Amino acid sequence: MITSKQRSFLRSLAHDLDPTVYIGKSGITENIIKEIEIGFESRELVKVKIQEGCELQPKAVANDIADKLKAEFVQAIGRKFTLYRESKEKKQIELPR
């Protein structure tokens, strides 16, 4: 569980990130989950965008994926949301205490 100070820090890092994973009409597929997993190992912070044709709610999807992948929900704005999980091998982000 991350603190509000850590969440704020992650929000500031995510501000300039472009989405790296896009969820379309098919919804959450195995490939989407794999792409997010790869993103966690390479960047730790993953921004996801839900395309216009998809009827999923960003906050609900973000919390569902975070639970499945043991990640932390950072924020949801519009049709985008950001997740964080510390990398096991390539730790890059040092969270404040």
Structure tokens at 6: 């850590």
* Domain ranges within the chain, ordered by starting residue: 4-84
% of the chain with per-residue pLDDT over 90? 85
Q: What is the pLDDT of residue 90?
A: 82
> 92 and 43 in contact (C-beta within 8 Å)?
yes
Q: What is the pLDDT of residue 36?
A: 96
Residue with tokens 């792409």: 35
How many angstroms separate the CA atoms of 59 and 96, rounded? Answer: 25
- Mean pLDDT, rounded, for 29-40: 95
Whole-number average pLDDT of the chain: 94
- Render pLDDT for 56-94 as a digit per residue (tens, 0 to 9): 999 999 999 999 999 999 999 999 999 999 988 888 898
- Please determine, for residue 18, whether its predicted confidence score (pLDDT) is greater than 90: yes
What CATH architecture is 4-84?
A: 2-Layer Sandwich (3.30)
Binning the chain into helix, strand and coil, the percentages to the nearest 5 are: 35, 20, 40
Q: Poorest-confidence range of 20-24, 82-86, 93-97?
A: 93-97
Q: What is the pLDDT of residue 92?
A: 87
Q: What is the pLDDT of residue 87?
A: 87
